[in-house]
A and B are shown apart, each in its own frame.
Chain A
Amino acid sequence: MSKFELSRRNMLKSSAAGLAALSAGGLSRLAHASDLTVGIVYVGPRDDFGWNQAHAVAAAALKDVPGVTVVEEENVPETVAVEKSMESMINLDGAKLIFATSFGYYKPFVLDLAGKYTDVEFRHAAPLWTEADPKNAGSYFGYLDQAHYVNGVAAGLSTTSNKLGFVAAKPIGTVLRNINSFLLGARKVNPEATVQVIFTGEWSMPVREAEAANALVDAGCDVLTCHVDGPKVVIETAESRGIKCCGHNASQAPLAPKGFITGAEYKWETIYKMFAANLAEGQPLPNFTGGGFDVDFVRSTPYGAGASEAAIASADAARADVKAGKPIFVGPINKQDGSPLLAAGASFDNYEPSLDQTDYLIEGVVGSIT
């Protein structure tokens, strides 16, 4: 790295500090939403029928809040590139609140910048923040496994082969938890059901996702769902193979007019609007925000043509149960290796902290993490 770049960065830093001093301190700027600039970083295109689209729709709702300016950047990889993007949002656009929306942005990039720019608030979309992390960083998250559980209930009543297929990106906690909850939903109404999972290893890899979907159909699965950034390919492949499917992240109902059952969707606008309202009132932002159906952070896609009446009735009932706080993880549940996770009669609360660190698949899921 050249000396020039270092000195340029320092100059930017000091001029930013000067600006902040002129405007009577960064925090008081934050208190007045009248001139708040919010920066949002996406890992893929904003209209991917999936993860990024769910965020972008919510960001659009944020733009309607008076006084809020939103700056966005898409296709930012989970590398040092995201640090540069966020720094330029802070130094050039004057962003005081940054939403880093991809899992891999947090460590070390968000943490580093939170230490460097103490007057900027960082919020990251995964349940990763802990007490040891900087106080101007934080996490917000929708517990999508609740909606995947509802998907599972509907899927369990829609299968005839009792084999459900799941195309998953990477074996991280949230993905594994969604797979487990999907199986538990299916098992609740159909004890014979199994979930076969294929990991692609990447958040977005269309050809391999199509191959995985085809391989699952060839293996006898007759309902497909997925956890990848853009479910478009998986849903379209399921539709073209004439089987049913459940969505993920955003609504894919238009992609499968015949086989779409329902889908698990985030409702980020609830969180984004809540943050904007907090800022307008001068309230500090919470470091950790999370929830599911009960606080309207997730929702189910309206039923498609693939949903039978029995599936709709059971799925509606399951959603009402989860909303009322009835647990998803009810024993006896064994992990894949046969070791017990929950004894008969025991259960996990739906926000049980240890579920955030899920590093196992449960019995009934076919496929391996490693």
Chain B
Amino acid sequence: MSDDAGLMTVLLAMFAGAIRVSTPFLFVSLGEMLTEKSGRINLGLEGTLVFGAMSGYAISYHTGSPWFGVLVAGICGSCFGALHGYLCKLPKVNDIAIGIVLMLFGTGLAFFFGKAYIQPSAPRLPAISFGAWSDHPGIRQALEINPLFLLGIVLAIFLWWALRNTRYGLIIRTTGDSAPAALALGINVDRVRLLSTMAGGFFAGIGGSFLSLYYPGSWTEGLSSGQGLMAVALVIFARWNPLYCFWAALLFGAAGALGPALQSIGISRGYHFFNAAPYILTLLIMIASTSPRRSLKGAPGELSITK
């Protein structure tokens, strides 16, 4: 294989990987972004993601409708969000600690209920083909796009618009930047945060159902390799901007595809390093984007880590 053909294969694989792998990152990071905009951090989204994957798969198996599974995964996610929102409302409760508790709780609960669903095969989500114009099988395969990915793009644009231009967006941002100001305006801070966390949980649950119902497309206990946690880092990288969340999710997806793609064209020395690319990227981003001398641009003022 010539070098050019090899390079094309890798680029194509990274493009395809970005589309295939990015959706869970996108949904979880949008959910986390919304929660953080209202002034709380929900680290429990990893658990929500895993539980969403399990519940979506289980419902799809029992009802035969994967879309109904996605909906139930979202509802389960918002239940976790409601629990987080309620507990953090209580005095002297730390949202980060509650998040870690919910992460373990969600994962454990998903494993407990998910035992029965490892074996059966549930109906999966369909894909839409956008590649009919191309003769290249790789391109056609890469352009088999899941509707959830498109929904994620729409959601990112909608959130970007809504946070800037609507009254509700203003309420959320005010709550997140200064609780006293929000109180002075007559806003019920706890309720805004509860609803934002619930919406965030809903998105994370949908992200989880994508893992079990589309790609890789089955429920196993090792399904999530930390996507939920990485998405939290991704929000900081994206500066709490929904549109940047989308690009960051694509970048992480492409980084995940790099290791296997390089091995497939025969560049396999140091594959451990390339396989670790998403995690190294996370680390580099965290280092590059923090400084002791200033707080992050765009960071909500009420966040317990930036206060």
A interface, CB within 8 angstroms of B: 44-45, 47-49, 75, 196-201, 204-212, 214-219, 230, 232-233, 236-237, 240-241, 254-255, 366-368, 370
- Chain A residues whose CB sits within 8 angstroms of the CB of B121 once the complex forms: 254-255
B interface, CB within 8 angstroms of A: 9, 12-13, 16-17, 20-21, 111, 115, 118-119, 121, 137-138, 141, 211, 215-218, 220-223, 225, 227, 256-257, 259-261, 263-266, 268-272, 275
On whether the beta carbons of B216 and A212 are closer than 8 Å, the reply is: no
| Known contacts A205-B225, A211-B257; is-contact A48 B268 (Cβ 8 Å) | no
Min CB gap A219→B, angstroms: 4
On whether the beta carbons of A219 and B275 are closer than 8 Å, the reply is: no
Give the total number of A-B pairs whose CB atoms are below 8 A apart. 121
- Chain B residues whose CB sits within 8 angstroms of the CB of A206 once the complex forms: 216, 218, 220, 222-223, 225
- Chain B residues whose CB sits within 8 angstroms of the CB of A204 once the complex forms: 220, 222
Q: Which of B141, B227, B270 contacts A218 (CB 8 A)?
A: B141
On whether the beta carbons of A45 and B260 are closer than 8 Å, the reply is: no
User: Which residue of the partner chain A has the closest CB to B259?
Assistant: A208
Tell me the bound Cα distance from A49 to B218 in angstroms. 12
Min CB gap A66→B, angstroms: 28
21 contacts between A and B (CB under 8 A): A49-B118, A198-B264, A199-B263, A199-B268, A201-B271, A204-B220, A205-B225, A207-B227, A210-B20, A210-B217, A211-B257, A211-B260, A212-B263, A212-B264, A214-B141, A218-B16, A233-B218, A237-B216, A240-B217, A241-B141, A367-B263
On whether the beta carbons of A47 and B217 are closer than 8 Å, the reply is: no
Tell me the bound Cα distance from A236 to B220 in angstroms. 13
Apart from A214-B16, A215-B264: 13 A-B pairs, beta carbons within 8 A: A45-B220, A75-B221, A198-B263, A204-B222, A211-B20, A212-B260, A214-B20, A215-B13, A217-B141, A232-B220, A236-B216, A237-B217, A368-B271
Tell me the bound Cα distance from A215 to B221 in angstroms. 24
Tell me whether chain B's interface is mostly helix, strand or loop, or mixed.
helix
- Chain A residues whose CB sits within 8 angstroms of the CB of B259 once the complex forms: 208, 211
Min CB gap A216→B, angstroms: 6
Shortest Cβ-Cβ A-B pairs, 6 listed: A210-B216, A215-B264, A368-B268, A204-B222, A212-B260, A215-B260
User: Which residue of the partner chain B has the closest CB to A235?
Assistant: B218
- Chain B residues whose CB sits within 8 angstroms of the CB of A368 once the complex forms: 268-269, 271
- Chain A residues whose CB sits within 8 angstroms of the CB of B215 once the complex forms: 207, 210
Tell me the bound Cα distance from A74 to B119 in angstroms. 16
Q: Which of A205, A211, A212, A370 contacts B21 (CB 8 A)?
A: A211
Q: Which of B13, B21, B211, B220 contacts A48 (CB 8 A)?
A: B220
- Chain A residues whose CB sits within 8 angstroms of the CB of B268 once the complex forms: 198-199, 367-368
Min CB gap B302→A, angstroms: 34
On whether the beta carbons of B21 and A207 are closer than 8 Å, the reply is: yes
Tell me the bound Cα distance from A222 to B256 in angstroms. 23
On whether the beta carbons of A47 and B115 are closer than 8 Å, the reply is: yes
Min CB gap B254→A, angstroms: 11
On whether the beta carbons of B9 and A207 are closer than 8 Å, the reply is: no
- Chain B residues whose CB sits within 8 angstroms of the CB of A208 once the complex forms: 225, 256, 259-260, 275
- Chain A residues whose CB sits within 8 angstroms of the CB of B20 once the complex forms: 210-211, 214
- Chain B residues whose CB sits within 8 angstroms of the CB of A45 once the complex forms: 111, 115, 118, 220-221
Tell me the bound Cα distance from A216 to B263 in angstroms. 9
Min CB gap A21→B, angstroms: 39
Tell me the bound Cα distance from A366 to B266 in angstroms. 7
- Chain A residues whose CB sits within 8 angstroms of the CB of B21 once the complex forms: 207, 211
User: Which residue of the partner chain B has the closest CB to A165?
Assistant: B264
Min CB gap B218→A, angstroms: 5
On whether the beta carbons of B216 and A218 are closer than 8 Å, the reply is: no
Min CB gap B216→A, angstroms: 4
User: Which residue of the partner chain A has the closest CB to B227?
Assistant: A207
Min CB gap B21→A, angstroms: 6
- Chain B residues whose CB sits within 8 angstroms of the CB of A48 once the complex forms: 118, 220
Tell me the bound Cα distance from A48 to B215 in angstroms. 17
Tell me the bound Cα distance from A49 to B9 in angstroms. 31
- Chain A residues whose CB sits within 8 angstroms of the CB of B271 once the complex forms: 198-199, 201, 368
On whether the beta carbons of B269 and A370 are closer than 8 Å, the reply is: yes
| Known contacts A207-B21, A208-B275, A218-B138; is-contact A230 B263 (Cβ 8 Å) | no
On whether the beta carbons of A218 and B118 are closer than 8 Å, the reply is: no
Tell me the bound Cα distance from A196 to B272 in angstroms. 17
- Chain B residues whose CB sits within 8 angstroms of the CB of A236 once the complex forms: 216-218
User: Which residue of the partner chain A has the closest CB to B13?
Assistant: A215
Tell me the bound Cα distance from A206 to B210 in angstroms. 13
Please indicate which of the listed interface residues B138, B216, B270 has the most CB atoms of chain A within 10 Å of its own CB: B216
